[in-house]
Chains A and B, each alone.
Chain A
Amino acid sequence: GAVVSQHPSWVICKSGTSVKIECRSLDFQATTMFWYRQFPKQSLMLMATSNEGSKATYEQGVEKDKFLINHASLTLSTLTVTSAHPEDSSFYICSASPALDRGLGYTFGSGTRLTVV
């Protein structure tokens, strides 16, 4: 089955520093990947759609200069939280699908717990 690998699983950083999260599709190519943010006891909120070879599409209210997305290859998308602050602390999850043209089969990574101190 489709596997999406996400690293790191958790990270603690100091306020003002930047953190990079990687999302890899292990056994399929993904021209599109999705990045979500999830606060405790809440649902997943789509932050942006990552497109291989082009700019990401951000959802309304998401700061694109704050959350930099790079989709440099068909199997790797990265999310960089720049100048992180405590309010950026959250659970970040990526997703991809080997059959996006049919709109199904979304597989999620294991998530990254970011804590900014």
Chain B
Amino acid sequence: GENVEQHPSTLSVQEGDSAVIKCTYSDSASNYFPWYKQELGKGPQLIIDIRSNVGEKKDQRIAVTLNKTAKHFSLHITETQPEDSAVYFCAASIGGTSYGKLTFGQGTILTVHP
């Protein structure tokens, strides 16, 4: 099955700096890669996603890049703010099927210091 590795496990930055989280996946058939933000005691919230036919996607301060050949994708957060502090998860799935379950990375605890 699919295996998703996520690094780093913890990331500490100063407010205004950029943060980068990286993930690799094992199944070349995976074609959908979402990123989730999870705050304490809450369910994951989708912040950005990318499909395999796109190499990069940006939404304001958040961007995701995908390298299909190397089977890795990354989350980039610019101009970080204290409210960006949370746990971030990457995931991968094989879309186009009726059983498109998500496989999650291990998570990254992001702390943004004021």
Interface residues of A (CB under 8 A from B): 6, 31-32, 34, 42-46, 49, 57, 91, 93, 95, 97, 100-111, 113
Contact = CB atoms under 8 A, between A and B. Distances in A.
Interface residues of B, number: 28
Contact of B104 (A43, A100, A105, A109): A43
Contact of B49 (A31, A57, A104): A104
Interface string B4-32: 00000000000000000000000000011
A43 B107 contact: yes
Contact of A49 (B31, B46, B99): B99
Contact of A111 (B42, B97, B98, B101): B42
A26 B107 CA distance: 28
Nearest to B89: A43
Decide if the interface of chain B is mainly helix, strand, loop or mixed: loop
Contacts of A34: 101-102
Contact of B102 (A57, A91, A95, A102): A95
A110 to B, nearest CB: 5
Contacts of B45: 108
Given A43-B106, A43-B107, A110 B95 contact: no
A32 B102 contact: no
B89 A102 contact: no
Contact of B89 (A44, A91, A103, A109): A44
Interface string B29-69: 00110101000011111100101000000000000000000
A43 B3 CA distance: 13
Contact of A42 (B31, B101, B107): B107
B102 A111 contact: no
15 contacts: A6-B43, A32-B99, A43-B105, A43-B107, A49-B99, A49-B101, A57-B99, A95-B102, A104-B95, A106-B46, A107-B46, A108-B44, A109-B43, A111-B41, A113-B41
